[in-house]
Amino acid sequence: MTYATVNGIRLYYEEHGTGRPLVFLHGWGTSGRVWDSQAADLMTDHRVITVDWRGCGRSDRPATGYTIAEVTHDILDFIDALALDNPVLIGSSIAGAFAIEAALAAPDNIGAVIPVNAGMHHFSGRREAMDQLLADLRADRAGTLADFIPQWYRPGVSAAMTDWTVRQVLEATFRIDQLVADQAAYDPRGRLGQVRVPTTFLHGELDTEVPLAIPRECVDLIPNARLTIIEGAGHMPQQDQAERFTQALREALRQ
Protein backbone atom coordinates (compact mmCIF):
# COMPACT_ATOMS: atom_id res chain seq x y z
CA MET A 1 0.00 0.00 0.00
CA THR A 2 1.21 3.50 -0.84
CA TYR A 3 1.06 6.42 1.58
CA ALA A 4 2.15 10.05 1.55
CA THR A 5 2.78 11.86 4.82
CA VAL A 6 1.20 15.30 4.66
CA ASN A 7 0.19 17.83 7.29
CA GLY A 8 1.25 15.36 10.01
CA ILE A 9 -0.87 12.41 8.78
CA ARG A 10 -0.62 9.57 6.25
CA LEU A 11 -2.89 9.61 3.21
CA TYR A 12 -3.40 6.43 1.23
CA TYR A 13 -3.27 6.81 -2.53
CA GLU A 14 -3.10 4.74 -5.70
CA GLU A 15 -1.33 5.76 -8.88
CA HIS A 16 -1.70 4.38 -12.40
CA GLY A 17 -0.36 5.33 -15.82
CA THR A 18 1.81 8.17 -17.03
CA GLY A 19 1.19 11.59 -18.54
CA ARG A 20 -0.72 14.61 -17.36
CA PRO A 21 -1.44 14.16 -13.62
CA LEU A 22 -5.07 13.89 -12.55
CA VAL A 23 -5.84 13.90 -8.82
CA PHE A 24 -9.26 12.43 -8.01
CA LEU A 25 -10.89 13.48 -4.72
CA HIS A 26 -13.86 11.52 -3.40
CA GLY A 27 -16.90 12.90 -1.59
CA TRP A 28 -18.00 12.72 2.03
CA GLY A 29 -17.07 9.46 3.73
CA THR A 30 -16.33 7.38 0.63
CA SER A 31 -12.87 6.63 -0.82
CA GLY A 32 -10.80 6.76 -3.96
CA ARG A 33 -12.53 3.56 -5.08
CA VAL A 34 -15.51 5.60 -6.36
CA TRP A 35 -13.26 6.54 -9.30
CA ASP A 36 -12.39 2.97 -10.37
CA SER A 37 -14.13 3.25 -13.75
CA GLN A 38 -12.39 6.51 -14.59
CA ALA A 39 -8.99 5.24 -13.41
CA ALA A 40 -9.25 2.15 -15.63
CA ASP A 41 -10.03 4.30 -18.68
CA LEU A 42 -7.81 7.34 -18.14
CA MET A 43 -4.68 5.48 -17.01
CA THR A 44 -4.07 4.63 -20.65
CA ASP A 45 -2.96 8.21 -21.38
CA HIS A 46 -2.82 10.06 -18.03
CA ARG A 47 -1.17 9.75 -14.64
CA VAL A 48 -4.20 8.91 -12.52
CA ILE A 49 -3.96 9.41 -8.75
CA THR A 50 -6.80 8.58 -6.39
CA VAL A 51 -6.40 9.60 -2.76
CA ASP A 52 -8.39 8.86 0.40
CA TRP A 53 -8.65 12.08 2.37
CA ARG A 54 -8.29 12.19 6.15
CA GLY A 55 -10.64 9.96 8.08
CA CYS A 56 -11.72 7.95 5.03
CA GLY A 57 -10.71 4.75 3.29
CA ARG A 58 -7.26 3.60 4.32
CA SER A 59 -5.92 7.00 5.36
CA ASP A 60 -5.18 8.07 8.94
CA ARG A 61 -8.04 9.13 11.20
CA PRO A 62 -6.79 11.98 13.36
CA ALA A 63 -8.99 13.51 16.04
CA THR A 64 -9.10 16.94 14.38
CA GLY A 65 -8.87 18.66 11.03
CA TYR A 66 -12.27 17.87 9.51
CA THR A 67 -12.90 21.22 7.88
CA ILE A 68 -12.86 22.34 4.26
CA ALA A 69 -9.81 24.50 4.99
CA GLU A 70 -7.83 21.70 6.65
CA VAL A 71 -8.59 19.04 4.04
CA THR A 72 -7.62 21.56 1.33
CA HIS A 73 -4.33 22.04 3.21
CA ASP A 74 -3.84 18.25 3.10
CA ILE A 75 -4.43 18.20 -0.65
CA LEU A 76 -1.95 21.00 -1.35
CA ASP A 77 0.65 19.23 0.81
CA PHE A 78 -0.12 16.00 -1.07
CA ILE A 79 0.55 17.73 -4.42
CA ASP A 80 3.88 18.96 -3.05
CA ALA A 81 4.79 15.55 -1.58
CA LEU A 82 4.33 13.87 -4.96
CA ALA A 83 5.96 16.82 -6.79
CA LEU A 84 3.02 16.99 -9.19
CA ASP A 85 3.33 19.48 -12.02
CA ASN A 86 0.11 21.49 -12.38
CA PRO A 87 -2.28 18.59 -11.75
CA VAL A 88 -5.96 18.66 -12.60
CA LEU A 89 -8.07 18.35 -9.44
CA ILE A 90 -11.32 16.44 -9.90
CA GLY A 91 -13.49 16.67 -6.79
CA SER A 92 -16.81 14.93 -6.11
CA SER A 93 -19.49 16.60 -3.96
CA ILE A 94 -17.82 18.36 -1.01
CA ALA A 95 -14.44 17.71 -2.63
CA GLY A 96 -15.47 20.17 -5.33
CA ALA A 97 -15.02 22.81 -2.65
CA PHE A 98 -11.59 21.38 -1.80
CA ALA A 99 -10.60 21.72 -5.46
CA ILE A 100 -11.86 25.31 -5.72
CA GLU A 101 -10.16 26.31 -2.46
CA ALA A 102 -6.90 24.76 -3.65
CA ALA A 103 -7.14 26.76 -6.87
CA LEU A 104 -7.73 29.96 -4.90
CA ALA A 105 -4.87 29.27 -2.49
CA ALA A 106 -2.24 28.08 -4.99
CA PRO A 107 -3.25 28.99 -8.56
CA ASP A 108 0.31 28.57 -9.87
CA ASN A 109 0.35 24.94 -8.69
CA ILE A 110 -3.01 23.79 -10.11
CA GLY A 111 -3.54 23.09 -13.80
CA ALA A 112 -7.35 22.99 -13.76
CA VAL A 113 -10.26 22.09 -11.49
CA ILE A 114 -13.29 19.95 -12.27
CA PRO A 115 -15.93 20.02 -9.51
CA VAL A 116 -18.38 17.12 -9.85
CA ASN A 117 -21.88 17.62 -8.44
CA ALA A 118 -20.28 20.06 -6.01
CA GLY A 119 -22.50 21.38 -3.22
CA MET A 120 -20.53 24.62 -2.93
CA HIS A 121 -22.83 27.19 -1.25
CA HIS A 122 -25.99 25.05 -1.47
CA PHE A 123 -25.88 24.10 2.23
CA SER A 124 -24.98 27.56 3.48
CA GLY A 125 -27.54 28.82 5.97
CA ARG A 126 -29.35 25.46 6.15
CA ARG A 127 -28.26 24.95 9.73
CA GLU A 128 -31.53 23.42 10.91
CA ALA A 129 -31.49 20.70 8.24
CA MET A 130 -27.81 19.99 8.81
CA ASP A 131 -28.30 19.82 12.58
CA GLN A 132 -31.11 17.31 12.05
CA LEU A 133 -28.88 15.15 9.86
CA LEU A 134 -26.16 15.22 12.50
CA ALA A 135 -28.67 14.28 15.22
CA ASP A 136 -29.95 11.40 13.10
CA LEU A 137 -26.39 10.16 12.51
CA ARG A 138 -25.71 10.19 16.24
CA ALA A 139 -28.95 8.36 17.04
CA ASP A 140 -28.72 5.65 14.34
CA ARG A 141 -25.74 6.01 12.04
CA ALA A 142 -26.26 2.82 10.07
CA GLY A 143 -30.00 3.36 9.59
CA THR A 144 -29.60 7.01 8.65
CA LEU A 145 -26.95 6.23 6.04
CA ALA A 146 -29.02 3.35 4.65
CA ASP A 147 -31.87 5.82 4.01
CA PHE A 148 -29.74 8.79 2.97
CA ILE A 149 -27.14 7.36 0.58
CA PRO A 150 -29.48 5.79 -2.01
CA GLN A 151 -30.70 9.33 -2.72
CA TRP A 152 -27.25 10.09 -4.14
CA TYR A 153 -27.91 7.80 -7.11
CA ARG A 154 -30.20 7.88 -10.12
CA PRO A 155 -33.40 5.80 -9.95
CA GLY A 156 -32.88 2.17 -10.82
CA VAL A 157 -29.23 1.89 -9.78
CA SER A 158 -28.33 -1.48 -8.26
CA ALA A 159 -28.70 -2.11 -4.56
CA ALA A 160 -25.18 -3.51 -4.61
CA MET A 161 -23.80 -0.11 -5.58
CA THR A 162 -25.64 1.80 -2.85
CA ASP A 163 -24.85 -0.88 -0.25
CA TRP A 164 -21.16 -0.66 -1.10
CA THR A 165 -21.27 3.11 -0.62
CA VAL A 166 -23.02 2.74 2.73
CA ARG A 167 -20.27 0.38 3.86
CA GLN A 168 -17.55 2.84 2.85
CA VAL A 169 -19.14 5.67 4.84
CA LEU A 170 -19.72 3.42 7.86
CA GLU A 171 -16.05 2.45 7.79
CA ALA A 172 -14.92 6.09 7.80
CA THR A 173 -14.49 7.81 11.14
CA PHE A 174 -17.58 9.50 12.57
CA ARG A 175 -15.45 12.64 12.88
CA ILE A 176 -16.13 13.40 9.21
CA ASP A 177 -19.52 14.63 10.47
CA GLN A 178 -17.72 17.84 11.41
CA LEU A 179 -17.58 18.59 7.69
CA VAL A 180 -21.38 18.54 7.58
CA ALA A 181 -21.45 21.38 10.09
CA ASP A 182 -18.63 23.20 8.31
CA GLN A 183 -20.46 23.04 4.99
CA ALA A 184 -23.48 24.75 6.55
CA ALA A 185 -21.30 27.83 7.03
CA TYR A 186 -19.47 27.65 3.69
CA ASP A 187 -20.22 30.17 0.96
CA PRO A 188 -17.39 31.01 -1.46
CA ARG A 189 -19.42 33.07 -3.91
CA GLY A 190 -17.74 36.33 -2.96
CA ARG A 191 -14.35 34.85 -3.90
CA LEU A 192 -15.20 32.83 -7.01
CA GLY A 193 -14.36 35.74 -9.29
CA GLN A 194 -10.75 35.30 -8.15
CA VAL A 195 -10.44 31.76 -9.58
CA ARG A 196 -7.80 31.94 -12.30
CA VAL A 197 -7.41 28.31 -13.36
CA PRO A 198 -9.54 26.59 -16.03
CA THR A 199 -12.73 25.35 -14.37
CA THR A 200 -15.36 22.94 -15.66
CA PHE A 201 -18.31 21.81 -13.56
CA LEU A 202 -19.72 18.36 -14.30
CA HIS A 203 -23.18 17.72 -12.86
CA GLY A 204 -25.68 14.90 -12.98
CA GLU A 205 -28.99 15.87 -14.56
CA LEU A 206 -31.03 14.01 -11.91
CA ASP A 207 -29.11 15.10 -8.81
CA THR A 208 -31.60 15.60 -5.96
CA GLU A 209 -28.92 16.53 -3.42
CA VAL A 210 -27.49 19.56 -5.25
CA PRO A 211 -29.74 21.29 -7.81
CA LEU A 212 -28.38 22.39 -11.16
CA ALA A 213 -28.93 26.00 -10.13
CA ILE A 214 -25.81 25.75 -7.94
CA PRO A 215 -23.20 25.01 -10.65
CA ARG A 216 -24.96 27.38 -13.01
CA GLU A 217 -24.54 30.20 -10.52
CA CYS A 218 -20.90 29.27 -9.91
CA VAL A 219 -20.15 29.21 -13.64
CA ASP A 220 -21.51 32.74 -13.92
CA LEU A 221 -19.14 33.89 -11.16
CA ILE A 222 -15.89 32.18 -12.29
CA PRO A 223 -14.18 33.69 -15.33
CA ASN A 224 -14.48 31.45 -18.41
CA ALA A 225 -15.91 28.53 -16.43
CA ARG A 226 -17.98 25.83 -18.13
CA LEU A 227 -20.76 23.45 -17.14
CA THR A 228 -21.49 20.03 -18.63
CA ILE A 229 -24.65 18.19 -17.59
CA ILE A 230 -24.46 14.38 -17.44
CA GLU A 231 -27.73 13.05 -18.83
CA GLY A 232 -29.56 10.52 -16.68
CA ALA A 233 -27.07 10.76 -13.79
CA GLY A 234 -27.58 11.47 -10.12
CA HIS A 235 -25.26 12.92 -7.48
CA MET A 236 -22.64 10.23 -8.18
CA PRO A 237 -22.39 10.32 -11.98
CA GLN A 238 -18.92 8.77 -12.00
CA GLN A 239 -20.61 5.59 -10.78
CA ASP A 240 -24.24 5.60 -11.88
CA GLN A 241 -23.48 6.78 -15.45
CA ALA A 242 -19.80 5.87 -15.58
CA GLU A 243 -19.37 5.73 -19.36
CA ARG A 244 -21.18 9.03 -20.00
CA PHE A 245 -19.30 10.66 -17.16
CA THR A 246 -15.89 9.53 -18.39
CA GLN A 247 -16.66 10.81 -21.88
CA ALA A 248 -17.63 14.19 -20.44
CA LEU A 249 -14.52 14.23 -18.27
CA ARG A 250 -12.30 13.51 -21.25
CA GLU A 251 -13.93 16.38 -23.13
CA ALA A 252 -13.35 18.71 -20.18
CA LEU A 253 -9.69 17.68 -20.10
CA ARG A 254 -9.35 18.40 -23.81
CA GLN A 255 -10.78 21.88 -23.30
Q: How many CB atoms lie within 10 A of CB 134?
A: 16
pLDDT score of 205: 98
pLDDT score of 127: 87
Buried b (16+ CB within 10 A) or exposed e, 187-210: ebeeebeebebbbbbbbbebbebb
Instruction: Identify whether the C-beta of residue 61 lies closer than 8 Å to the C-beta of residue 171.
Output: no
Longest dimension (CA), the chain: 47
Domain chopping of the chain, boundaries: 2-254
The ranges of the chain with pLDDT < 50 are: none
Q: How many CB atoms lie within 10 A of CB 166?
A: 18
pLDDT score of 14: 98
CATH class of the domain comprising 2-254: alpha beta
Instruction: Identify whether the C-beta of residue 248 lies closer than 8 Å to the C-beta of residue 202.
Output: yes
